[in-house]
Structure 1
Amino acid sequence: MFLKNTVVHKILLFFSLYFFTSSYSQEKNKTVLLSKALDSISKKYDVFFTYNPTIVKGKKINSVIFSTTSLQASIQKIKTLTSYEIDYLGNSYYVLYKPQTNIASKNKEKFIIDTTTTRIKQKIDTENYITLKGIVLASENFPLKRATILENDTKNGTTTSNDGSFTLKLIKNNPITVTYIGYDAQIIKSQKEFLKIILKSGVQLDEVQIIGSRNNHRKKADSPVATDIVNINKVTNKSDLIDVNQLLQYSIPSFNATKQSGSDGADHIVPASYRGLGPDQTLVLINGKRRHQASLVNLYGTRGRGNSGTDLNTIPTSAIKRIEVLKDGASAQYGSDAIAGVINLVLKDTTDLVDINTTFGFYNASNNKDSSKKGVDGLTYKTDLNYGLKILKNGFVNISTEIISKDHTFRQGTNTRQNYGDAALKSNSIFLNSEIPISPKIKFYANGGYSDRNTEAFAFTRKKESERNVIDIYPNGFNPLITSDISDKSISAGIKGNYKNWNVDFSNTYGVNNFHYFIKNTLNATLLENSPTEFDAGGHQLSQNTVNLDFQKNFSYILKGMNIAFGLEHRKENYQIFSGEEASYSSYDINGDVVTPLTPVSDLITLNSVVRPRGSQGFPGYSPSNEVNESRTNFSFYLDSEFDFSEKWMLATALRYEHYSDFGSTLNSKLATRFKILPYANIRSSFSTGFRAPSLAQIYYNLKFTNYIGNEPVESFLIANNDPITEQFGIHQLKEEKAFNYSLGLALNLNKNLNITIDSYHIAIKDRIILSGNFDATTLNLDIQNVQFFANGVNTSTYGIDFKTNWEKQFNKSKLSIGFYGNINEMTIDKINNQNLNQEVFFGTRERYFLIASAPKHKFTLNTNFQKEMFNINLNLTRFSSVELIDWQISEDLINFNNSPLERINAATDFYKAKYTLDLHFGHKISKNITFQIGVNNLFNTYPTIQGNDTDSGGLWDAVQMGSSGSFYYSKLQFKF
């Protein structure tokens, strides 16, 4: 348990602020628009007012009515303070009018409740009304269904049908406002018999978002914290990106998904990071609900070493409507893992539209010494489909499916790794999103999906003469294949509705990720020529069940608006390691029996006096001694509030308490503010504390495996954190990582064509969990040479700036868009918590370089898009920063470097120069329903700086963010009908 004394002060300060602002709003004497007062009373007492908007336009009333505790008292004060009358019509409806137009006496107005639409149609002198008809189109001339048309200063409105058409009865000469998400709103004053309204695509989505604020009236531009919104249709229509990681890599400057090669499981699930922090320090949500992590913990030679991230690629891009990225620490709002920020994937909700995309592509394979593999490789096929079906009046079911096939890429390898390149992949996935109304105020919703991926990656080469090879099986040595079957399942269901103006949401979300290894083109050297060449090596699984109950209400009559949200969450996690077949992990003696501690040394199978290693080569299987089945629970409570003190200044606060069954409790807080210094300029800032709970994999993962150190195979044992052996090394039970986040930003919307955002941040993390180096274990009698373990090993500080500039210009029949955005980032290691252990072994120079390299110094992107009628061309120029890594020469004896540590470190430092890549995409809208696109990523076939033979990956490059596969050429065909 750790609850500091300052916690009580935080709580008292928060509630003092709440009651002060409430009292202040009730006592302050000011005027508000009468229409706003009526809206506030409607929300407060769940009633409805109808009136002719022209008679109340611009009328104001003293705000003293907000302090009234009853509906009738409020109505009486309006009548007293104004010249209006209010009559009750029944069914919670009231009519407001001037006495001289009393409808009861003159019989000129009649009100009818339309039960089929749940609104009142007001008939006052039919000659004063007009019926408008029209159609709403996008600038690309396709209809916008569900666009909203509202009569100004009233609640009267409608939405467009599937063909974009609408009909609306309204008061003559009263303007209408037409809006659609992602497009600039239009105010229409003309009242022709038929209107053709064309909405232009906005430079930046300015819509109510799900993350960062629980205020359902808060727009992106007015948020006190920085956010990015990625519109999937816009991105995929001008790129070849086939998965979510790729999409974010080129859309969010501080997001990096580095493809690994020769890194066991990380070849199959790409470790992604945000702002240079660990893959598990960014929280992922689906429609605002917590997404489960992958069961894989990254181990050998990877970015995010020692971390378990969320596998974003299990969700088909065809299922995603937009991606919201909260660029701020948010543990106080959302709990563990939100140290770096939050990524929320919002699923599609379209109906009556079939959307089919097919992509074919390949890589330029000229960079390969093997002439048989030159030309093209990495053949990629992708087909996805999305279809939505309308359910009842406002409900829907939207289904997406995706099939991907990708072959290996082969790039220049070394003597230790002949087959270097990206893993092959076959993937199938299906995802569903639905919402069904139960009543006018209650909806049932559900989403979830299933993903199955089969991946295949080459391990390091086993040489012909090695004790790891059996010449009778592989006369020339062999390249083991690590293959996997990764299945991912999830389902989230809930009920949300409105009760006395409180929005209530109750949900249950379950997810499970299963990673099963199958090792092929391999052998167990101790079985000699009798060895199988394929093994079931076992695997691991992580499941998570989360129950949420959330409440939210907006008090528009307090200050300029106050929003309160609070909720409860209960989460249960389970982590398992399951064993493979016996031959995948065992060693056998000359009699064919499994080797045990009692087996005589003379019975061990050797080659040239060297004992042959156990298990399947490439990846040894999990044994029964590795098996794990552990669970934990977590309970949390949060309180989230926002105060709009004026139209210029707002303040947001959050407080969250969490209790974990395995390590204790934590309390985190957040304070954020936004101030409008000019009508087009906002300053925003925040401070928050955060945490990340150690994952179950970090606590319980254990495995004996072959580690390549200095190109030499070494038998290592990764010991579980709760193993008594870790105590012998002075390593204690893992505790949570603690963070402090600071941010300061500026948002400029200079005009409808240009907006600029600049946001700086500082993230300090204490007790980051790392995977240690290899300690000598020869004295432990464990049949291994080295041991390593997870520990709260380092404190780090990360500083950076995100910036984004978007400009767009509409011409007669064409449009030009230019975007320039980037990230500048720096991480420092403030302290290494090595206790009494050797620091260079615990977290040495090589590991420190790898950690720093996970936070690239910068990434800049310049994007230009030109569209003319049915044609579209897009250029994307990206600069990737330089990177320094330490290769395996650091482990060689100093005698090889003239006994000079400086000479050795210089020789071991691999410097990757900053590089530019240029992407070119061309699209043509063949017809209303068909679009064709061709393009190339990395047009000039740019590669990272070539290194020597001592890289961690076994190739001529280590894994860097720009990738090492070269140019990718593709064509894409899209059908919509």
Structure 2
Amino acid sequence: MSALSFAVSLALTGSLASAQVIAEEQQVEQKENIEKIAVLGTRAAPRSIGDSPVPIDIISSDDLKKNGSTDMIDMLVTSVPSFNSRAQPISDAATLVRPVNLRGLPSDSTLVLVNGKRRHRASVIAFQGGGINDGAQGPDISVIPSAALKQVEVLRDGAAAQYGSDAIAGVMNFVLNDSADGGSITVSQGEYYEGDGATTTIDGNIGLPLTDSGFVNLSVQYKNADATSRSVQRHDAANLITQGNTDVNDPAQVWGNPEINDDYSFFLNSGFDINDSAHLYAFGNLSSRDVVGGFYYRNPHNRGNVYSEDEGKTLLVGAVNGDQSTCDIVPIPKIDTDGDGIPDVDGNVLTSPEYLAMLADPNCFSMNQIRPGGYTPQFAGTVEDQSFFAGIKGNMGEWNYDFSAGTGSNKSTFSLKNSLNPSLGLDTPTDFETGAYEQVETTVNVDFSRFVNIGSLEDVSFATGFEWREESFEITQGEEASWVAGPYAEQGFNIGSHGFKGFGPEAAGKNSRHNIGIYTDVEAYIGEDWLVGAALRYEDFSTFGDTLNYKLTAQYAATDDLSFRASHSTGFRAPTVGQENVVNTQTSIVNGDLIQTFIAPPTDPLAAFYGGEVLEPEESVSYALGAVFEHEGFFLTVDYYNIEVTGRIAQSSQIEVEAKDYDALRAAGVEFPELIQGVTYYTNDFDTTTQGVDIVGSYDTNLLSGDAKFSLAYGWTDTSVDKFDPETTDEGKVRRLEDGIPAHRATLTWAQSWDKLSMSLRGNYFGEYYATHADDTSDWGSEVADAAVTVDLEVSYMVLEGLTLSVGANNLFDQKAQELKDGTQGELGAVYYESGPFDYNGGFYYGRINYRF
């Protein structure tokens, strides 16, 4: 049996240090057609995805571009079943990234690779991830422009036994463009039907020969995007304006997508043949973007520990001499607007005699003197991302080898504008540099593979290798005013920049760990119809010890057109260094009230007091069973999967810091516990079982005097929480985990092409899901959202050879997202729920000019 036949990998094994996705051009029916061929983990030869014993999606760069968005995440959502994502408005640092999930598991349960090499994580952790992604720290794939890609491969199968930590749900491999000539320039412009969110993107790619033996391929993308607003004026802000407060904006807060400026990405991919048996390669990126988003409005009468300590009955008045008893109480005036004798709205405290008397006393002050109309902080961040990998691969006798090393980093630098450090009193600045997170990872791989004969079995594929990896997470201290406890902290005024407290010296520092991995795998045909494989991987971490995982796979060819496949594996996901050490503050909503919560490392005295413990790895057991049918132009795969995860790591629910605990917390070393409303931390808190069915199909035919392709991607996902700790995970979080994404997702695409004209029409179905707003799972702030359908359309025309004009629309018929309940919009200042499977901004139209040379 030939070596090529054994290239049909069953186990998708190895560290993927040398894995590549290869495209072979074939002439079919006198037209050029690119057959999608994959090698994932095997060190053999390429194989058709139809022969794969585990489900793989391969999306070409051209297919990705048939979308109005230039964000890689949006492109993949419409192409991959059981892949979900949505922007997170007003989500603190999570505004800077978009968490994704594959097969109902968080973003850090999917391993991301570029050219087969492990991609580093984002430095930002998704603290408000809509339930499933709460606390997830996955890679930021939005920095990868489509212009830099040859194709994207998504492995939808448990694969931690092959690739190490994070591959519980699957693997995504971004294969960079390796052309040695030609290139393209694309300019696109679009905006939402509402007239905001204007986005301009310019990208280019060029391939250059490196003598006759190599290539250098360069790609660049530059983008700017305006903010969007799906806001309504808050009831409390509207009332303040009615009562004569002229310092309140309309709307008081902006709820929508953040503004993105100077978003650029540069990617390099290169290779050089030293001789017939050795090949050098190198690739990397430099990326950066500035993001400015909004926060929730701070009411100037009742915001706790800023304007009031008694929920808006009286103002919080500070005393310069330190004795608050020397300052008179300033009550918030109440007004009866409906004549029933019961006050129902606040009056204007700024014109009350008590407030004016307080102003006249130089010993007394309130924060209303700086922000008389309240304030809405603006959260800003700069994300810088870079990576570089290099290696050599080839063969020595019958052995193939691949030696590589690389490093990647992602740094997010934060600032807060239009805020206060109330504990500094009237001397507080209003803009703050709050510090930074930085994630750095370095990886070294050594991989070998060959074919061997074992008894009667010929050409058994055998691979083995070694991986060393080190990762670190560093918190950089913010400016002093952003974290310091000022002289008025003891009088009840909040410490640090309000809304996003800066990182103090106690939080700053660098934590790191390293691990080694050793793997081996074998795969072979038994007879003509059976392909079986096995993989084993051992890893040892410097922080929590070692783990051993395996994977077994099998495929049976029933006929030339029909085959059946199955896999079983164990896996793990190590807690990230960031999850073990991150410090932050976040704002959530509970029953309509803003709650500021402190996020502490699980071993911090505050977290430990409420049950925090050292994190352990998640463990998983996966089963999958599927079928593949191919006949002429028809292709169909149906796959069932079942993933059991024990000890899942996530952010706990908010734990209230109660007055009865203040003394004990002080004794444990917690400063000013009375100013902390709640605490959360990371914990191995619950066990889940996620099962589902993915259906992927396509059909090529001649239609309307042109070529047509119909594609279907359907996913059913069901998650059940088998076990949880009610002390740290409430029923609302359980419901978000189980129902926070649609159980049913489907995409049906019709791609039609003629000589110069082409069209892509896509329908997207999103089933019912549990909708929440700012993590509020109360009946007031959540409900079951309706199913919805959106339609995308793009039409392209080749004006000249190489020059193509395209126009299109995402969400062509402006399908609205689920609106907040009646009575809650004015309380929250927003129209739609934060959680949801598609863009709440509505329809988006665009135009694009592309020139290929």
TM-score category by the smaller chain? Answer: 0.7 to 0.9
Quote the Cα distance in structure 2 between the aligned partners of 1:887 and 1:933.
36
Alignment-derived partner of residue 61 in structure 1: none
- In the alignment, structure 1 residue 843 sits paired with structure 2 residue 729: yes
- 1:219 corresponds, among 33, 48, 51, to 48
Is the alpha carbon distance of 1:935 and 1:246 closer, same or farther for their aligned partners in structure 2, counting shifts above 3 Å? same
Quote the Cα distance in structure 2 between the aligned partners of 1:767 and 1:318.
40
Q: What is the one-letter code of the residue matched to 2:210?
A: I
Alignment-derived partner of residue 763 in structure 2: 877
- In the alignment, structure 1 residue 335 sits paired with structure 2 residue 227: no
Query: What is the 5 A alignment of 1:778-817?
Result: 778=659, 779=661, 780-781=665-666, 782=670, 783=672, 784-810=676-702, 814-817=706-709
TM superposition shift of 1:472: 4.1
Query: What is the 5 A alignment of 1:322-471?
Result: 322-365=151-194, 376-413=195-232, 415=234, 418-426=253-261, 427-466=263-302, 468=306, 470-471=367-368
- In the alignment, structure 1 residue 235 sits paired with structure 2 residue 110: no
- 2:33 corresponds, among 193, 197, 201, to 201
TM superposition shift of 1:528: 4.4
Quote the Cα distance in structure 2 between the aligned partners of 1:865 and 1:819.
8
Give 3-state SS (helix, strand or coil) of 1:561's partner. strand
Aligned length: 742
Quote the Cα distance in structure 2 between the aligned partners of 1:623 and 1:769.
26
Quote the Cα distance in structure 2 between the aligned partners of 1:759 and 1:715.
43
- In the alignment, structure 1 residue 972 sits paired with structure 2 residue 840: no
Is the alpha carbon distance of 1:509 and 1:890 closer, same or farther for their aligned partners in structure 2, counting shifts above 3 Å? closer
Is the alpha carbon distance of 1:760 and 1:886 closer, same or farther for their aligned partners in structure 2, counting shifts above 3 Å? same
Quote the Cα distance in structure 2 between the aligned partners of 1:923 and 1:285.
32
Q: Is the 8 A contact 2:186 2:851 kept in 1?
A: yes
Alignment-derived partner of residue 655 in structure 1: 536
- 1:932 corresponds, among 793, 798, 805, to 805
**Ranges in structure 1 where 5+ consecutive residues have no aligned partner:** 1-31, 41-179, 187-196, 366-375, 596-600, 605-610, 892-904
Query: What is the 5 A alignment of 1:17-96?
Result: none
TM superposition shift of 1:944: 1.8
Quote the Cα distance in structure 2 between the aligned partners of 1:729 and 1:235.
47
Give 3-state SS (helix, strand or coil) of 1:624's partner. coil
User: Which deviates more from structure 2 when the two are superposed, residues 482-491 or residues 954-963?
Assistant: 954-963
Alignment-derived partner of residue 165 in structure 1: none
Give 3-state SS (helix, strand or coil) of 1:935's partner. strand
Q: Is the 8 A contact 2:96 2:124 kept in 1?
A: no
Query: What is the 5 A alignment of 1:755-770?
Result: 755-770=635-650
Quote the Cα distance in structure 2 between the aligned partners of 1:645 and 1:439.
36
Is the alpha carbon distance of 1:448 and 1:291 closer, same or farther for their aligned partners in structure 2, counting shifts above 3 Å? same
What's the CA shift string for 1:102-156, capped at 9, x where partnerless? xxxxxxxxxxxxxxxxxxxxxxxxxxxxxxxxxxxxxxxxxxxxxxxxxxxxxxx
Give 3-state SS (helix, strand or coil) of 2:580's partner. helix
User: Which deviates more from structure 2 when the two are superposed, residues 723-732 or residues 436-445?
Assistant: 723-732
- In the alignment, structure 1 residue 564 sits paired with structure 2 residue 399: no
Q: Is the 8 A contact 2:36 2:58 kept in 1?
A: no
TM superposition shift of 1:770: 1.7
Quote the Cα distance in structure 2 between the aligned partners of 1:676 and 1:630.
50
Alignment-derived partner of residue 510 in structure 1: 407
Q: Is the 8 A contact 2:188 2:201 kept in 1?
A: yes
Alignment-derived partner of residue 325 in structure 2: none
TM superposition shift of 1:971: 0.1
- 1:280 corresponds, among 97, 108, 111, to 108
Q: Is the 8 A contact 1:377 1:407 kept in 2?
A: yes
Alignment-derived partner of residue 348 in structure 2: none
Quote the Cα distance in structure 2 between the aligned partners of 1:716 and 1:814.
59
Q: What is the one-letter code of the residue matched to 1:872?
A: S
Quote the Cα distance in structure 2 between the aligned partners of 1:516 and 1:692.
27
Quote the Cα distance in structure 1 between the aligned partners of 2:594 and 2:299.
12
Alignment-derived partner of residue 839 in structure 2: 963
Give 3-state SS (helix, strand or coil) of 2:62's partner. helix
Higher relative contact order (CA 8 A, sep 6+): 2
Query: What is the 5 A alignment of 1:902-917?
Result: 909-917=782-790
Alignment-derived partner of residue 920 in structure 1: 793
Q: Is the 8 A contact 2:741 2:837 kept in 1?
A: no
What's the CA shift string for 1:834-863, capped at 9, x where partnerless? 2xxxx1x51112211222244420111111
- In the alignment, structure 1 residue 500 sits paired with structure 2 residue 332: no
Quote the Cα distance in structure 1 between the aligned partners of 2:212 and 2:140.
35
Q: What is the one-letter code of the residue matched to 2:638?
A: I
Q: Is the 8 A contact 1:921 1:936 kept in 2?
A: yes
TM superposition shift of 1:706: 4.6
Is the alpha carbon distance of 1:230 and 1:843 closer, same or farther for their aligned partners in structure 2, counting shifts above 3 Å? same
TM superposition shift of 1:412: 2.8
Q: Is the 8 A contact 1:889 1:950 kept in 2?
A: no
Give 3-state SS (helix, strand or coil) of 1:378's partner. coil
Is the alpha carbon distance of 1:258 and 1:705 closer, same or farther for their aligned partners in structure 2, counting shifts above 3 Å? closer
What's the CA shift string for 1:606-640, capped at 9, x where partnerless? xxxxx332222331111111113111110110001
- 2:141 corresponds, among 294, 312, 320, to 312
Is the alpha carbon distance of 1:411 and 1:798 closer, same or farther for their aligned partners in structure 2, counting shifts above 3 Å? same
- In the alignment, structure 1 residue 831 sits paired with structure 2 residue 723: yes
Q: What is the one-letter code of the residue matched to 2:818?
A: T
Quote the Cα distance in structure 1 between the aligned partners of 2:787 and 2:752.
28
Quote the Cα distance in structure 1 between the aligned partners of 2:467 and 2:141.
23
Q: What TM-score does the superposition give when structure 2 sets the normalisation length?
A: 0.83
Q: Is the 8 A contact 1:574 1:631 kept in 2?
A: yes
Q: Is the 8 A contact 1:232 1:321 kept in 2?
A: yes
Q: What TM-score does the superposition give when structure 1 sets the normalisation length?
A: 0.73
Q: What is the one-letter code of the residue matched to 1:942?
A: Q
Quote the Cα distance in structure 1 between the aligned partners of 2:576 and 2:845.
39
Give 3-state SS (helix, strand or coil) of 2:207's partner. strand
- 1:521 corresponds, among 403, 415, 418, to 418
Quote the Cα distance in structure 1 between the aligned partners of 2:24 and 2:636.
17
Quote the Cα distance in structure 2 between the aligned partners of 1:703 and 1:870.
54
Query: What is the 5 A alignment of 1:487-636?
Result: 487-555=384-452, 559=457, 561-589=459-487, 595=489, 601=490, 604=491, 611-636=492-517
Quote the Cα distance in structure 1 between the aligned partners of 2:127 and 2:67.
32
Q: Is the 8 A contact 1:877 1:918 kept in 2?
A: yes
What's the CA shift string for 1:526-553, capped at 9, x where partnerless? 4444432221000211101010000011
TM superposition shift of 1:908: 5.2
Rg: which structure is higher? 1
- 1:261 corresponds, among 89, 100, 125, to 89
Quote the Cα distance in structure 2 between the aligned partners of 1:521 and 1:727.
34
Is the alpha carbon distance of 1:358 and 1:704 closer, same or farther for their aligned partners in structure 2, counting shifts above 3 Å? closer
Is the alpha carbon distance of 1:224 and 1:706 closer, same or farther for their aligned partners in structure 2, counting shifts above 3 Å? closer
TM superposition shift of 1:364: 1.7
Give 3-state SS (helix, strand or coil) of 2:196's partner. strand
Quote the Cα distance in structure 1 between the aligned partners of 2:588 and 2:703.
60
TM superposition shift of 1:219: 3.0
Quote the Cα distance in structure 1 between the aligned partners of 2:693 and 2:404.
36
Is the alpha carbon distance of 1:217 and 1:553 closer, same or farther for their aligned partners in structure 2, counting shifts above 3 Å? farther
Q: Is the 8 A contact 2:739 2:770 kept in 1?
A: yes
Is the alpha carbon distance of 1:554 and 1:919 closer, same or farther for their aligned partners in structure 2, counting shifts above 3 Å? same
Alignment-derived partner of residue 27 in structure 1: none
Give 3-state SS (helix, strand or coil) of 1:678's partner. coil
What's the CA shift string for 1:387-445, capped at 9, x where partnerless? 11111223100010000100101003462873110111121110100001122211110
